[in-house]
Each structure stands twice: as structure tokens, then as C-alpha cells.
Chain A
Amino acid sequence: MTRRLLRSNVSACGASFAAAGALSLLLVAACGERSPAPGAPDGSGGARSDGPSSVVGAAPAPVSENAGTAAEQERRAGGAVAAPGPAALPLLHFTDVTAESGLIASMTSGALPSTQILEVKGGGLALIDFDGDGDFDIFMPNGATLDDPESGPGARLFENLGGLRFRDVSERSGIDLRRWAFGVAVGDYDGDGRDDLYICCFGGDVLLRNLGDGRFEDVTAAAGIDAGGWSTSAAFADLDGDGDLDLYVTRYLGFDVANPPGPTIFKSIPVMAGPIGLPATVDLLFENLGDGTFREVGEPAGIRSVPASYGLNLAILDLDGDGRPDIYVANDSRPSFLFLNRTPAADEDPTGAVAGGGATRLRFEERGMASGIAVNIEGTEQASMGIGVADVDGDGRPDIFTTNFSSDTNTLHINGPGGVFSDRTQQYGLGAVSRPYLGWACGFFDFDLDGDEDLVVFNGHVYPQASRRTMDSDYQQVPLLFERSGRRFARVPAERGGAWLAAAHRDRTALFADLDGDGDIDIVVGELNGPLRVLRNDAIERLRDAAGEHGAATPGRWLIVELDDRGNPGNRRGVGSVISAAPAAPSGANDAGGAPAAPASPEAVQTRWIWGGGPFMSNAAPLAHFGFPEGSSAASEGVIVTVRWPDGGEQVVGPVSLGRRLVVVRAAAAG
């Protein structure tokens, strides 16, 4: 459905530009359902509230000469902001719809039961709009087995057909990747407008260029990528601000398939060895040279100023608030790294003193221990697999959540003033509950559209021998869903959140996105040597049901914001951007005489990050999803959206009405 809608939109709409001098606003109707029209806060003409309608970006938005409120628009559009009736079902609920989704694939990673560490990390997944139709398709790199690590069952590519239905298009994609693969990064490395794939492997990473016709081409060697050994995760981001996407690759350890290590002892039980005791390997940093090639610059950039470690995952975003993307590396059993970006701007290095002789400008300073993010509150290193990014304490800074080993706890590092992180896991109720679980992919999202972000963690042990009796932790484990409840997170039981919460698996990776285009965040989960699962978020459906009972129409409790920096094709999706949204001040509070739009109050501001990296060996969707609680003034007054682009330029859009997908096209002179 989504695809059909969007394709018809593409044909129906054209982009329109309006320039007005040096500080011109760039107003672009980007594939919206209809052209901008007067009468709507954002000029969208009161687009449907329930569809994934792309609308308008503006900067700074001239506030609504004929604006009207979002609610007025909804009424004009025949819709209304629905309020669930008293008997409404809880919105924080998912249903496993794998069987009808067509996403039929099983991840291979060694054999069961696992006997070596190479087998237990599982593989990754990726969200990629490979066909450019506006929705996310799914790529599964897939693994192999110890007896032939170069010849596994092969990667799979699934096209999103809309309505949470997928079609396997692997064969015609031309992807013939059978090497044992792990994490995936998605980015348009060559700036041709199409998402490409970087795949971390055991035995040599692979870069696949999207040819635009549904096929991919292996350009690893041509692009200068040389990453042997065992890579685990990767992420694209424009680290030097030159407009193209650089690449960071985490690597794990040296493993010899022909001579695997013998077992060790854990809780009195013989188990597979590692990572401690096995040789750690250094991470790689590839600078994009802008001509379709990369060069590895880890040494001069300072990435290798630290000892090799057991890198598993990463997040690239501005963690210290200086406007430059930093790199957080989650290391297994060793302190995590925080590489603060110290790259001088190009205009700060006019003589080439830093980058003299063609050397890289990229510079990083490792500040993991000093910042407090390297270890937990006890000063102890952790396993650090999954990564979640959210503004948990509402101060506008990105906080970092990591998942860890059983008998340990997951950890929430709150980002405080001065770039110092504090482990506040217990304070937010996320400590003890996680002790029996070994966590992997995780994600913060406002699953139930109530204005705060909830949290889901997928679990599963690495040791087949694990049981509650022997290791205080089962081999197959249930996911943990937490609802944000005041200052704390409260675990949601299966009877409330859905039967999927009672089903134990060996989960590893996950993807989070609005895959059916209904406005709430769905999930795809990848299990070690098990089938993918598609979990449909039922929030919108339940809101609709409740609205139907009360004679109202479609619910408008959400907003999805995507970015389009058309002037910067190398990072068009704006990786590294910060997006905030807040209910607009009541009508009249913002004088229509050209005053900038303003949120109702600073407390109401929600912040999201377009970050590189992902939940675990997967990628975070390059979009910001916002929910708004029932009764929020956002429904009546609209929302002010503020975008801070990766180069620091700021753009304000709104008020925009809820219940839509908003594509903010970068203004010509934003910032």
C-alpha cells in the first residue's frame, strides 16, 4: 500500500522552488500527496493525517499566514484527532505477523549448538530503500558455517511491498555474497542518490554499490576498501564535514577457523572461549575521498591511539555538543571508546598544515574513560552489544544505552554538562530487571505515541549450556519491553504487550521503522540460526479502532521527519543531524508578522538524532519519529520542527500538523 501510494504521489507531484534572495527559503513539495496549498500551517493543504505523506520543508518557516491549526486542518481534511474510548486497548502492543509478511528467511551463523565464538554473534540486518520508492526494504547479509566460512547460504534482499508485506528480490539484485557476514551499514557513499551497502564480514568486508535498477555491484576493491579479519559493525557519517560519507568499522578479534581455541570455564561449566584471551583487532576508519574511493586513516586520525579491543557496535553522532559527529564504540569486555571529533574545519586549515601532503584532516581524541561512558558506575567494563540513543532525561543531549551480558545489567549513560556521562541505570529502573538476560539489539521509540520514548531489548544467551539453573540465564530468552512511566521505565508483561513478549528466542539483531507506513514503529528481529520475525506495532490500528467506536476518524498522534539535503548529495539523508519537535505555541502567541515559530515550552521539546550505526550490527533508520500524547496541544496547534544539520545549520519548520511523514528539504541558506 505504501509503495503504491508513494509511487502515485511521485507521478502526481513535482518539486517547486521558491527563492528569495540570499536568505531564500527553499520550499519543496517533495513527493507529497498534494502540492503546498494555503490554509495549512506547513502549506500542505491539510494532507491526510494517516498516510506517510511527504510534505514540505521550510526554513525558517514564515509562520502560517493562513495557518489555522492542525486540528482545523484535520477537520478540513475530514479527519480528527482521535481519542481512544475508555475501553481502548493499550497502545503498547505488537503482534507477530511474520507468517503473512513474506519476510521468510533464516539467519545462518554457524551451527547449533554453537561451539565457537565466531558462531554466536549472529548476523545483522539493514534498512535500505534500495529502489528509491520511499519505504524501507530489508537486507540480510547472512552468515556461514565453520566448515566453510566463505560459502554460506547467501545474503537476501527483500522489497517492501507495503502493508508489512515483503518480496524476496535477492536473485535479481545481483548480490552474491556468501561469505560469513555480520553487521551492515547503509549510505550513499558515492553521492549518486542511491543507498549503498557496506557489509562486515569474517574474511574481508564488502562494499556493494547500488546501480539504481535493483541491482548491486561489488566495488570493494575499486573503492579502496581492504578490511580483512573479522569486522562486526560499521557506520557511515560525514566525519570531516566535506560533504561525503566516511566510514568507521569495528573489528572484533583474531580467529583461526582451522585452529579454534579450546573451551574455557564459566560458572563451573565448560563453554566456548573468548573474547578474553583471544587477540583483539584494531578498528578501521575510512575517509571518503569524494571520487568513489576510500583510504584508511585510522592511524593518523588517532583511532589507533588506543589498544586494540573487541569492537562490536558503534554509534556516530554529536555527543559533546560541538556540532561534529563523534564516534562511540561499544567494546566487548573492555572499556568502550569515545572518539571525540577534533577534525579542523577545512577553512581552519587553509595552508594544509594539518592535512599537508594529502594527509587526512580527520582527528579524534579518545575520551571514553574521562567522559565516563567507557565503563559502568563501578568502573567496570561490560560486554556492550546493543546501542540505543535517546534523550532520556529530556535535556536535549543524546544519552546512550547499552545491552550487556547476563548476571550483569544493561547500562544507561546519561549525557550531562561538560561532556560527562553518568551511569543512571538504576535510577531509571533498567538495572536489576536485566540481570537474567544477555542483551543485544535495543531501541528507544515512542511505540505507544504518548510523548515519551519506550525501550525494547532483544535477548538470548551465547552459551548453549545456559540455563536458569546453571548460569542464572536461559539460552533462549524473551524480549524486554519497557514503557516509560514517569521517571522510570516499567517492564511491560506479555499479557499487555503481546504474546511475542513471552516467546523465548536467541535474538541478536533488530530493525526499527514504520515499515507499513501507518505512523507507528514496527520491528524486524533477527535470531541466531532462526527465522526473521516481523512485529507489527498495533498502536495506530488500536487508535483507529477506538476512534471508529467514537465516530471519529483517523488518529494524528505521530510525526515522522526525514531529511533531504539536496545540495549535499553525499549526505542527503543528513546523518549527524539533530531533529527536535514540540507543540507550537497557541495560535496568536506567535505573531504572524514574520516572527519565527516557537514551541509552546522548552519542556515539551522532543529530540531525536539521525545517527550512524544501529541497534546491533544493523542500522538506525535515518528518520525521526515523534509521538504526542492524547490531549497534546500539538494536535490543535501543530508542531514546530527544528533541524540542526550536520554542519550546524539550523532550520525551523512549522507549525506542521500531525499524522504525516514530513520531508524537510534543506533550505538554501539554512544556518
Chain B
Amino acid sequence: MPGPDGRPFVGAWSGSTSAPSGAARSLSTRVSARGLALSAAAAAAVALGGCDRASEPAVNRGSVSAPSDEESARPVAAEVPPDASAATDEPVPIVGSIDSGDRSAAFAETPRPPEPRGSFRPADPRIDIARRMIQTQEFAVAEVALRTVLREMPGTAQAEFLLGVAIQKQKRYGEARTHFERAITLKQSYPEVDHAFHFLGWAEYYLGDMTASRQAFEEHLRRVPDEADSVFGLGLVALEEDRTDDAEALFLRNLDMLLKRGVVPRVDVAKARARLGDVYLRLDRDADAERELISAVRFYPDAYEAWAKLARIYDRAGRTDDAAEARSKEREALRRLGRQGPEEAPAADGRTAPGGAAEPGFGAEGDAEGASSDVGDAAAPSQSGAGAAARGFVGGTR
């Protein structure tokens, strides 16, 4: 999918996806007309491109290794999801169940742009400027600029959308939601129109409305089927709703979609791996969880939550030395991100909000939402060096 600047993203959706057969079966009752099937060719292509699970070096107790910073910052070419060998051509849904408050009908009434990027001109040049501000993480400034535009040109959908993004990046999800909804219901064409659903999905997620979040992500995928991050979002919703089979399938599918892009930021792979680890932790499959979490920290050693979860696994297993080492890695990761570890003494470090975890995991899935559907590189979670993502790039939602 092209970015808002018209620059194509590396890799493309192949029209295929995968899921382990068991998980796919659990989902198959909700398959929609947009259900996708994994082609054998696609699976093979993925397999050829990456280091499958068997090729990963065995992890010894207490000797979890991680790539260097340089290594972790590099995009990876591809990686096979752990159960790729079990992938079948069973369909996986794009559209899930719709609960009360179904907004899919309203969503469907919105137009189906985007227009060709080259031909699109914003209603006001300041919109483009604001977009660039968002890309450089000047969210508050962008907010002011976009509010100005909207005061002068009310009803400009693209400005509403970008204003929503600027606000969302400042963690004000309720307000952002309002602007995304306006951007959608104005029924105007602009390059990012479909992605308003994606951002809306994250806003709803962080506001705690799983039904609305699911609907928004599903609508986004209906419009932009290759959006891996919306699949990831659906996985988190499934976790929240304790649909572990669904969550597993969605995270695997997310991985598959990422890897099919050919070049993918390590952090995105790490996120998916870490969330698979969550699924297995939930299911008390500690060995599987350990495998996924180790994979996550190998891809992205700053994944401090993954280190923390590894420590939990080791604690549960009585592997105290390993647990201590994992916690040490967690602290190191936090330091690299400019944060303090949870065991370290407090300091006047600028984290002045009560409940230091008051916004846990911001910068996580929801904050950085969406690699490809983001408005610009700076906001993408895949920028592992971006300090803005800092605390919680992997986690954020439990």
C-alpha cells in the first residue's frame, strides 16, 4: 500500500495469508466473502525468504542473546511464522462478528478512494505542512495548524483526519476518535480516507471499546486488505476478549503479512512475536511463549516487555538466574529507551503523572498504530530509534 506521500511501501500483499489449521478452523465460522486463502506458492516464497523456526539457534537457559543495536535496527527480509509448515489454505476472516452497535453499514457508505496520489491536492496547502509536522513528531504544532485550517474551512475531511492523528499521538484518544469519525462521515475523497478506520480502531481500543475497535479494524481491512497492523489490532482485541485461538491466528497472519512484504522493520516482527508469546502465556504453554518472546527480543532487544515476560516464565519455572538476567535485559532496554526500570529508584525524570503506568504501553500498538497506514515515517512504529515510541512499543495493553 502506498504511503500518503505516494511512496510505495516495500513489499505487497500477495493476496494470501496463513494461519495454523486449528486456529483457522476456529475462525472459519466467521469467514466473510473477503476470506483469503494461502496459496502454496506464497507459503513457499515465505519459507524461502526467511529463517524458519527450526533454523533459529537453540536458546540455552540464561543465555538469551540479542542482536546488536545495529542489527536490530535493520529491517529483516522475511521470516517464516512459526507454524508456517502447518499453514493450510483454510480461509481466515477479514470480517468478524458484529455486535450490537454495528457500524459496518455506516462504514460501507463512505466512499472508496483513494484517488491516484499524484492527482490529489489538499484543500489547503497548510494540510500538507501539518502532515509533515506529524511526520516529524511535532504533534502539538500540527494540531494548532489543523485547527486553524478547520476553523477557516470546516468540513475538510482530510484535515479532520490529520487532526485526529495529531491528537492521537498526544494520547487523547477520545478527542481523536471524534475527528476520525468526522473524517469518515464527511464522505470526501483524500488519500488517507481508508486509513481513518485504522486509526479509529486504535482509538477505540485504547478507550476500551473492543467491539468498536474490532469493527473499525475490520472495515479498514475490507478497504485495505494488506494492512498487517490492523490484523495485529484485531489480534489484540481477540486477546482482550479471551479468544485465544483467534488471537493466535491473527498474530500469525500478521507475521505472515509482514514477511510477505519482503523487507519489514524488526520491531514489527518483534511485536507480533511478543503477542504470540502473550497468547501462549495465557494458555500456560510456557515453552511456546518462551520461544516467541526470545524471538521477539532477538529481533528487537529494546522490547522490554518481552524481557519482562520472559522473566515471568523463568520465575514460574524456578529458573531464578534466567529470570534475573531477563530482568536485567529489561532494564537495559528501558535505559536505551530513556526510561527507568521498574525496580530502580524514582527520580524527577519528567514522568510526573501519577501511576507511572498511567499510560502504559503508549507508543505501543495503538500509539504508533500502523506501519503502512500511518501518515508518515516518523509516526510509524517501525522506527525503532524513535524515542516517541519509547515506553511500550511492544506492549501497552497487557
Q: Which of B172, B348, B396 contacts A472 (CB 8 A)?
A: B172
Decide yes or no whether A378 CB sits under 8 A from chain B.
yes
B13-21, B79-87, B150-158, B302-310: which lies at the interface = B302-310
B69-77, B253-261, B349-357: which lies at the interface = B349-357
**Cα–Cα distance between A423 and B348 once the two chains are bound (Å):** 29
Verify B171–A267 contact, CB threshold 8 A. yes
CB distance from B274 to the nearest CB of A (A): 10
CB distance from A329 to the nearest CB of B (A): 14
Decide yes or no whether A488 CB sits under 8 A from chain B.
yes
Write out, one digit per residue, whether chain B residues 333-370 have a CB within 8 A of any chain A CB (1) or not (0): 00000000011011111111111111111000000000
Verify B304–A472 contact, CB threshold 8 A. no
Decide yes or no whether A433 CB sits under 8 A from chain B.
yes
B4-12, B36-44, B94-102, B205-213: which lies at the interface = B205-213
Decide yes or no whether A66 CB sits under 8 A from chain B.
no
- Which residues of chain B come closer than 8 Å to A333, judged between CB atoms? 346, 351, 354-358
Decide yes or no whether B111 CB sits under 8 A from chain A.
no
Write out, one digit per residue, whether chain A residues 106-130 have a CB within 8 A of any chain B CB (1) or not (0): 0000000000010000000000000
Verify B398–A377 contact, CB threshold 8 A. yes
Decide yes or no whether B312 CB sits under 8 A from chain A.
yes
Interface residues of A in 351-390 (CB under 8 A from B): 369-372, 374-384
- Which residues of chain A come closer than 8 Å to B330, judged between CB atoms? 379
Q: Which of A268, A276, A372 contacts B354 (CB 8 A)?
A: A276
Known contacts A405-B355, A418-B318, A426-B239; decide if A370 and B323 are in contact (CB<8 Å).
yes
Decide yes or no whether A196 CB sits under 8 A from chain B.
no
CB distance from B284 to the nearest CB of A (A): 9
Decide yes or no whether A542 CB sits under 8 A from chain B.
no
Q: Which of B209, B320, B347, B357 contacts A408 (CB 8 A)?
A: B357
Verify B315–A268 contact, CB threshold 8 A. no
Verify A420–B316 contact, CB threshold 8 A. yes
Decide yes or no whether B242 CB sits under 8 A from chain A.
yes
Decide yes or no whether A471 CB sits under 8 A from chain B.
yes
Verify A372–B312 contact, CB threshold 8 A. yes
Verify B304–A379 contact, CB threshold 8 A. yes
CB distance from B167 to the nearest CB of A (A): 9
CB distance from A371 to the nearest CB of B (A): 7
Q: Which residue of A lies closest to B396 (CB)?
A: A378
Decide yes or no whether A209 CB sits under 8 A from chain B.
no
Q: Which of A274, A383, A426 contacts B398 (CB 8 A)?
A: A426
Verify A425–B355 contact, CB threshold 8 A. no
Decide yes or no whether B221 CB sits under 8 A from chain A.
no
Decide yes or no whether A9 CB sits under 8 A from chain B.
no
Verify B342–A276 contact, CB threshold 8 A. no
Interface residues of B in 367-398 (CB under 8 A from A): 391-392, 394-398
- Which residues of chain B come closer than 8 Å to A266, judged between CB atoms? 352-353, 358
Decide yes or no whether B115 CB sits under 8 A from chain A.
no
CB distance from A491 to the nearest CB of B (A): 11
Known contacts A274-B352, A379-B307; decide if A374 and B342 are in contact (CB<8 Å).
yes
Verify B354–A117 contact, CB threshold 8 A. yes
CB distance from A422 to the nearest CB of B (A): 7
**Cα–Cα distance between A334 and B343 once the two chains are bound (Å):** 8
Which of A277, A376, A377 has the most CB atoms of chain B within a 10 A radius of its CB? A377
Interface residues of A in 425-484 (CB under 8 A from B): 425-427, 429, 431-436, 462, 468-472
- Which residues of chain B come closer than 8 Å to A151, judged between CB atoms? none
Q: Which of B239, B312, B352, B357 contacts A382 (CB 8 A)?
A: B357
Decide yes or no whether B47 CB sits under 8 A from chain A.
no
CB distance from A346 to the nearest CB of B (A): 30
Interface residues of A in 386-419 (CB under 8 A from B): 404-409, 416, 418
Verify A276–B349 contact, CB threshold 8 A. yes
CB distance from B285 to the nearest CB of A (A): 13
CB distance from A298 to the nearest CB of B (A): 18
Verify A381–B356 contact, CB threshold 8 A. yes
- Which residues of chain B come closer than 8 Å to A169, judged between CB atoms? none
Verify B240–A369 contact, CB threshold 8 A. no
Decide yes or no whether B327 CB sits under 8 A from chain A.
yes
Verify A432–B348 contact, CB threshold 8 A. no
Decide yes or no whether B173 CB sits under 8 A from chain A.
yes
- Which residues of chain A come closer than 8 Å to B346, judged between CB atoms? 276-277, 280, 307, 309-310, 333-334
Known contacts A268-B140, A416-B316; decide if A431 and B360 are in contact (CB<8 Å).
no
**Cα–Cα distance between A408 and B305 once the two chains are bound (Å):** 15
Which of B210, B307, B315, B347 has the most CB atoms of chain A within a 10 A radius of its CB? B315
Q: Which residue of B lies closest to A117 (CB)?
A: B354
- Which residues of chain A come closer than 8 Å to B347, judged between CB atoms? 277
Q: Which of A264, A377, A405, A432 contacts B309 (CB 8 A)?
A: A377
Write out, one digit per residue, whether chain A residues 269-280 have a CB within 8 A of any chain B CB (1) or not (0): 001011111001
If A277-B346, A372-B316, A487-B242 are given as contacts, then 10 extra A-B residue pairs at C-beta distance below 8 Å, sorted by A number, are A333-B357, A370-B315, A376-B360, A378-B305, A408-B358, A409-B397, A432-B240, A434-B208, A472-B171, A472-B206
**CB-based closest 9 A-B pairs:** A379-B308, A383-B355, A405-B355, A435-B208, A264-B352, A378-B395, A333-B356, A405-B358, A277-B348
Binding site for A on B (CB under 8 A): 140, 170-175, 178, 205-210, 239-240, 242, 278, 281-282, 304-305, 307-309, 311-312, 315-316, 318, 320, 323, 327, 330, 342-343, 345-361, 391-392, 394-398
Show 12 A/B contacts (Cβ-Cβ < 8 Å), sorted by A: A310-B346, A378-B309, A380-B305, A404-B355, A426-B282, A426-B398, A431-B240, A432-B209, A434-B208, A468-B174, A469-B172, A487-B242
